[in-house]
Structure 1
């Protein structure tokens, strides 16, 4: 799947169901998976992520046929975990992860994107638990994330890339670096989502330059600073913030993606950079023009 080592390292651009307003395996507000696949190929992308498990066909033979005839390949699967709860949630977590890891491997992908669970409900804003972790919970998160990294590597040949996310316990620069410093680089790499990191006050270029050896994957996304300021002022949960338009297509928001891509390019490694513009819910005719403009913009950035 990766570029042969004899060739120069490069950034592989893709997109994901998220950019088509897909957040759930099945939702009447979302476009059918066939339309997503048709349009992501039409917009000029070669790589996709699996998105929420069950949205795309979970039978690898069916999915291989569907992607292959459109010239698409899979870069990663995605799982949500609550590993800060410790060993008590391991069996339930592994049951969830193993099916997705199996499909991810079957599709020839090498990465598993791991997103921590939300501390408040993504739709209602209901507070589910404290927004900050205790010292004990941080220990559980680090230990169990390493365990997950080891298991998916040994059983499925996958690389775990941890995705900091708004409204989770791993969000700000302080929390992201705390997790990185507490985990084994051989087991845990980072999926840097430029939009989520900016949403939580982080500087993506600085993070790449400081922790370059931990960057294993990118999600490309921008936030609207004006909407973000209102979101923070009002304490709006992430889901409603997205509905208000906090995430925008480049180059209309922050961070600037050209410096981010330049910094990533200096790492001199093969790297996936997947466009993920949160747009749930959205009108079915909205994603394709945005995806097309975004792909053309990224080409102007040299990728």
Structure 2
């Protein structure tokens, strides 16, 4: 059983394809390799070069490989959004497959703006919207497997409709386990009150991918008390450098090893926006910490 550790543009303050406050893509690639990682995610589509030949060359020069692509979807809005959703997903999936990766991380769309925290729609799904989410994710998972050979892993995320223990377990119980797997993000799940070890022990057969992240419990307490949206919470430093937060990562890794399957465990520390010299030292220390945990 192998846990393959990597990192992602998110740990370099990257949330969008193009933003002058973000680390330039070539610096990210240089620094993620320097920090000791050999696996990366693609991040927002368009941040890294989208031409497969060019991107493949850039990765090979740095001895990097791709574990997954990432895409946001709003499938709870029903069949009317399917065509536009698939067009977007197909672009990401094609690049992901061309880079030799086997996973696509699918995140439900935010109900609050990820930067300003402005409410864009209600934070809870009605019965029909939940049914749309279930059927849409199953349809998407089928098509990604059939057309691209990719395993879809759905990512519960703060300020989306799939975030806490109640919504995650309801979603898992409603979906086909042969088609819909989970990307467990330890930081987001803790941010929303969930227990990652318990989720792995209870729904281990559904865990297809990990994001390793920690939350500063002191900042989180203020965030919860003041009902601060996720974007402003990130700017306060709610996502922190391991091993300074929760959940403790060694028990999570031990529980994951207990599944007896190969898993990617991709480090993500939300830091949008951040000073350009901040990510590399954190990434290097985090890689050394995870190595001390046997990962």
What TM-score comes out, normalization by structure 1 length? 0.97
Q: Distance in 2 between matches of 1:189 and 1:91?
A: 23
Displacement after TM superposition at 1:124 (Å)? 1.8
Q: Distance in 1 between matches of 2:226 and 2:83?
A: 38
1:129 is paired with a residue whose SS is coil
Q: Distance in 2 between matches of 1:69 and 1:185?
A: 38
Q: Distance in 1 between matches of 2:236 and 2:181?
A: 31
Of the structure 1 ranges 292-301 and 124-133, higher mean CA displacement relative to structure 2 is found in: 124-133
Is 2:279 the partner of 1:284? no
The correspondence for 2:181, drawn from 180, 189, 197, is 189
Runs of 4+, deviation exceeding 2 Å? none
Displacement after TM superposition at 1:125 (Å)? 1.8
1:213-292 maps to which residues of 2 (within 5 A)? Answer: 213-292=205-284
Is 2:118 the partner of 1:90? no
Is 2:161 the partner of 1:169? yes
Gaps of 5+ in 2: none
1:1-303 maps to which residues of 2 (within 5 A)? Answer: 9-303=1-295
Displacement after TM superposition at 1:260 (Å)? 0.1
Aligned pair count reads: 295
Displacement after TM superposition at 1:122 (Å)? 1.3
Displacement after TM superposition at 1:120 (Å)? 1.1
Displacement after TM superposition at 1:147 (Å)? 0.1
Gaps of 5+ in 1: 1-8
Instruction: Output one character per residue of 1:190-215: Cα deviation in whole Å (capped at 9) or x when no partner.
Output: 00000000000000000000000000
Instruction: Output one character per residue of 1:63-96: Cα deviation in whole Å (capped at 9) or x when no partner.
Output: 0000011000000000000011111110010011
Instruction: Output one character per residue of 1:257-296: Cα deviation in whole Å (capped at 9) or x when no partner.
Output: 0000000001010100000000000000000000000000
Q: Distance in 2 between matches of 1:125 and 1:69?
A: 39
Q: Distance in 1 between matches of 2:118 and 2:274?
A: 23
Corresponding residue for residue 5 of structure 1: none
Q: Distance in 1 between matches of 2:261 and 2:190?
A: 24
Displacement after TM superposition at 1:31 (Å)? 1.3
1:250 is paired with a residue whose SS is coil
1:12 is paired with a residue whose SS is strand
Q: Distance in 1 between matches of 2:44 and 2:117?
A: 21
2:11 is paired with a residue whose SS is helix
